[in-house]
Amino acid sequence: MKVLSIESATNVASVALCEEGMVQAERFLNIRKNHSEKLLPLIDGMLADADMDAEEIGLLAVSVGPGSFTGLRIGMATAKGLAYGWDLPLKGVNTLDAMAYALRGDLGTVVPLINARRKEAFGGFFVGGDERVGDYFVLNAQSIAERLQELGLMNPIFMGDGVHAIRAELAECMPEARFASPASVDNRAASVGLLALERYALEGEDDLKGLSPTYIRASQAEQNLKKAGAHE
């Protein structure tokens, strides 16, 4: 089965075509452009490159977060629109799960991080890049180091755009920490697609109307509204 996957949870806009165990095509942009202007042209161009029609696709997959509120909404809307228009099943994949999948087989603890600003990152701990230990989190570098120690997790390797934001702090707290290469540090649609194929085989498709982005922390607008209400 061929899957077309979409990743738009961060500044990265990425789309991919995959089959089980194989990436057939992928387009990737990390140039801070508007995802609403880029995703559909990326998909059209990739299908043309692969000489493939929509009729050959059996599944759509989308990264559901955490990440940018705007980016996630655009990716979700695009995926749902294609699923409706092409009459295809849709599978949502947690962004952190998909990022860790890219380093599956690592002998340590894979720690994907997404920039949450304020020197914090959304993240999770994945032994071998596969088995998640503990809950997803939003923490600063010191708290990440403490949580790793509390859980008895060793030999961390950090990846994701959250690394760009707090790398110096992570290195200071954990001199033993490893960092993924620039070629694998950012989230990719190929990982979303390959993991979606595995989960679709086990779980089936997601409810098209019920599928929604995953937010670990409320948006800045929601936080400001809550603070304003508390002071009334």
Q: What is the pLDDT of residue 227?
A: 40
Tell me: pLDDT of 184 over 90. no
Q: What is the pLDDT of residue 24?
A: 96
Sign of CA dihedral 163, 165, 168, 173: negative
Measured between alpha carbons, how far is 60 from 57 in angstroms, rounded to an integer? Answer: 8
Mean pLDDT value of segment 39-66: 96
Q: Which residues neighbour 160 within 8 Å (Cβ) at sequence distance 6 or greater?
A: 10, 99, 112, 113, 114, 115, 121, 123, 185, 186, 187
Q: What is the pLDDT of residue 218?
A: 55
pLDDT tens digits, residue range 29-40?
998 778 999 999
Q: What is the pLDDT of residue 183?
A: 82
pLDDT tens digits, residue range 21-30?
899 999 999 9
Q: Enter the tokens of residue 113.
A: 């991080």
The side-by-side arrangement of strands in the sheet containing 109-117 is: 131-139, 120-127, 109-117, 156-159, 178-179
Measured between alpha carbons, how far is 57 from 88 in angstroms, rounded to an integer? Answer: 8
DSSP string, 35-82: HHHHHHHHHHHHHHHTT--GGG--EEEEE--SS-HHHHHHHHHHHHHH
- From 155, 147, 91, 92, select the one nearest 121 (Cα to Cα): 147
Tell me: pLDDT of 224 over 70. no
- All domains of the chain, ordered by start, with CATH? 3-95+187-220 (3.30.420.40), 106-179 (3.30.420.40)
pLDDT tens digits, residue range 106-165?
999 999 999 999 999 999 999 999 999 999 999 999 999 999 999 999 999 999 999 989
